[in-house]
Amino acid sequence: MGTKLYVGNLSFNTQEAELKAAFAPMGTVTSCSLITDKFTGKSRGFAFVEMSTQDEANRAIAELNGKDFEGRALTVNEARPREERPPRSGGFDGDRGGRRFDR
């Protein structure tokens, strides 16, 4: 299993192929996921890149963190596990925002 890296401070015009090409000299890129807004489809300015080994990931961090990429200084570090969040109430569940209509 590879090592997943967080890549931040990306230009909103960055494409996955460009990002993958930037990490390829550091080793084998097993996946590259540019995070986009689900409503507009535009980049949110960060991505996750997975390198095949820990050594390749360390090399990518050492060589790319703080380096200029498309006019912006990249933030590259090892990705942390996603934090669990409590479920959100998105639908009608009988509560109308704290107002009671039966009074």
* pLDDT value of residue 90: 60
Q: Between these two residues, 36 and 85, which has the higher pLDDT value? A: 36
User: Which pLDDT value is given to residue 88?
Assistant: 75
Question: Is CATH 3.30.70.330 what the domain over 3-76 is classified as, yes or no?
Answer: yes
The confidence score (pLDDT) of residue 94 equals 54
The predicted structure's pLDDT at residue 84: 82
Q: Is the pLDDT of residue 89 over 70?
A: no
d(CA 18, CA 21): 5
Token couple for 9: 């401070």
Question: pLDDT tens digits for 13-55?
Answer: 999 999 999 999 999 999 999 999 999 989 999 999 999 999 9
| The two structure tokens encoding residue 2 | 């590879």
Beta strand ranges found along the chain (DSSP E): 3-8, 29-36, 43-51, 68-69, 72-73, 75-78
What's the confidence (pLDDT) of residue 76? 97
Phi and psi torsions of 49, nearest 5°: -120, 130
Task: Delimit the domains of the chain by residue range.
Answer: 3-76
pTM of the predicted protein model: 0.78
Work out the pLDDT band at 9, boundaries 50, 70, 90. very high
Look at 94 and 1; give whichever has higher pLDDT: 1
CB 54 within 8 A of CB 70: no
